[in-house]
Structure 1
Amino acid sequence: MAVTRIAIGAPGEASHPDTLRAALAEFISVLIFVFAGEGSGMAFNKLTDDGSTTPAGLVAASLAHAFGLFVAVSVGANISGGHVNPAVTFGAFVGGHITLMRGILYWIAQCLGSVVACLLLKFATGGLETSPFSLSTDVSVWNALVFEIVMTFGLVYTVYATAVDLKKGNIGIIAPIAIGFIVGANILAGGAFDGASMNPAVSFGPAVVSWSWSSHWVYWLGPLIGAGIAGLVYDNIFIGQHSHEPLATSDF
């Protein structure tokens, strides 16, 4: 089972230069992604007098997040593995592809990147708020939880299939394209219901800057459950006992 490959990591790993460089890469990648994704929503609101709930707004959000994630994953891939998402990091952890020590640093860097991106957006737009994720009318927290679990399962399963599983060789640029596409597609499917986060860091930044925490736990628990299931399923069934990358590294 994949759980037997879970590792805490060496005590000195958190201060190792390679780990710190990887964490910095995650910080920058998340900053790029959140600035583009959240910024596109703010720009659409400005152009349409808060018309982001229209179908056009949903399509715009889907495209901006798909494009932004493609770039964010690509620029971080050779340094940190291009996780750009605490859920992806958790999915890699349960599959034995990253240690707990390294994963915690990634989480901190990812959340800080999101907060800084939202603060920069607030400053650059003259004080406009980055909208926190919230549930639509008649959508319960349990509805949203299922959405987040299923959407994040699809995202992390895609990460494993295109970037983690190297049995058939490195498929290169297809991985970040596929990862961006699945996020864009999921936003089209779930965006009208709960915002389609799939990424706790993306939800965390706007919540901190606006200090709005309504139903925020859904945007952590759902993605982590979905990512954990995807990591265990793909690693056990499709990767199985094939060789793994060393636990000290995070490059998919």
Structure 2
Amino acid sequence: MPISRIAIGNASEFGQSDALKAALAEFISMLIFVFAGEGSGMAFNKLTNNGSTTPAGLVAASLAHALALFVAVSVGANISGGHVNPAVTFGAFVGGHISLLRSVLYWIAQLLGSVVACLLLKFSTGGLETSAFALSSGVGAWNAVVFEIVMTFGLVYTVYATAVDPKRGDIGIIAPIAIGFIVGANILAGGAFDGASMNPAVSFGPAVVSWTWDNHWVYWLGPFVGAAIAAIVYEIFFIDQNTHEQLPTTDY
């Protein structure tokens, strides 16, 4: 069982140079991702008079997030593993691939990266609103939780299959492409219902800067549950337990 391999880690990790470099890489990758993703929505609203909720706006958001995440994962992969998502980090923790203390470092860096990106967007656009994630009319909080669970399951399952599994082979850049594609596809599927976050940090930055917290818990509970399920399923059924080993940061 993957749960038996969960590691708390050592407090000394907070001062290790490789851990701090990995956290910095997560901060930068998240800043890149949120600035491009959130910024694309703001730009589309400006150009189309608040048209980001139209079908064209949804396609634009999907494309922008897919491309930005591909880049953000790629540039961080060799340093931190390119998680760029607290839920992905949690999935790696549940599978025993990262310690709890290093996960906490990643979470802090990811949340700060998102907040800084939104602050930079607000400043550079002359004070335009960084819209927080919100539920669409007729969509209840628990409906949205299920959406987030299923979408994040697909994301973290893809991460495990293309980046974590020791049997993945030398597939190189395919992992960031696949991760970007599944996020883009999920935005097309769920964006009209709850914004399709799949990433607590992506929801956190706009919520802090706009100070809007309605149903914010949805964007934490759903992704973390979906990530845990994906990690457990993949670890139990597809990773050879006899050959399991802690993955080096350079691998993931």
Output the TM-score relative to the length of structure 2. 0.98
AA at the equivalent of 1:134 = A
8 Å CA contact 2:45, 2:52 repeated in 1: yes
Following superposition, the deviation at residue 242 of structure 1 comes to 4.3
Q: Output aligned runs, 1:149-188, within 5 Å.
A: 149-188=149-188
Deviation string 1:58-80 (CA, Å, 9 cap, x unpaired) is 00000000000000000000000
AA at the equivalent of 2:136 = S
Deviation string 1:134-159 (CA, Å, 9 cap, x unpaired) is 00000000110000000000000000
**Does the C-alpha gap of structure 1 residues 242 and 69 become closer, same or farther in structure 2, counting only changes over 3 Å?**
farther
Output the TM-score relative to the length of structure 1. 0.98
**Corresponding residue SS for 2:167:** coil
AA at the equivalent of 1:152 = T
> Which residue is 1:241 aligned to?
241
Q: Is it true that 1:43 corresponds to 2:62 in the alignment?
A: no
> How far apart are the structure 2 equivalents of 1:179 and 1:2?
22
> How far apart are the structure 2 equivalents of 1:150 and 1:133?
17
**Corresponding residue SS for 2:169:** coil
> Which residue is 2:204 aligned to?
204
> Which residue is 1:136 aligned to?
136
**Does the C-alpha gap of structure 1 residues 100 and 247 become closer, same or farther in structure 2, counting only changes over 3 Å?**
farther
> Which residue is 1:32 aligned to?
32
> How far apart are the structure 2 equivalents of 1:57 and 1:147?
20
8 Å CA contact 1:98, 1:250 repeated in 2: no
Q: Percent identity?
A: 80
Alpha-carbon RMSD across the aligned residues, in angstroms, is: 1.1
Provide the aligned length of Structure 1 versus Structure 2: 252
AA at the equivalent of 2:2 = A
Deviation string 1:139-181 (CA, Å, 9 cap, x unpaired) is 0001100000000000000000000012141311000000000
**Corresponding residue SS for 1:207:** helix
AA at the equivalent of 1:132 = A
> How far apart are the structure 2 equivalents of 1:75 and 1:36?
15
> Which residue is 2:84 aligned to?
84
AA at the equivalent of 1:69 = L
8 Å CA contact 2:78, 2:250 repeated in 1: no
AA at the equivalent of 1:212 = T
185-194 or 235-244: bigger deviation: 235-244
Following superposition, the deviation at residue 184 of structure 1 comes to 0.1
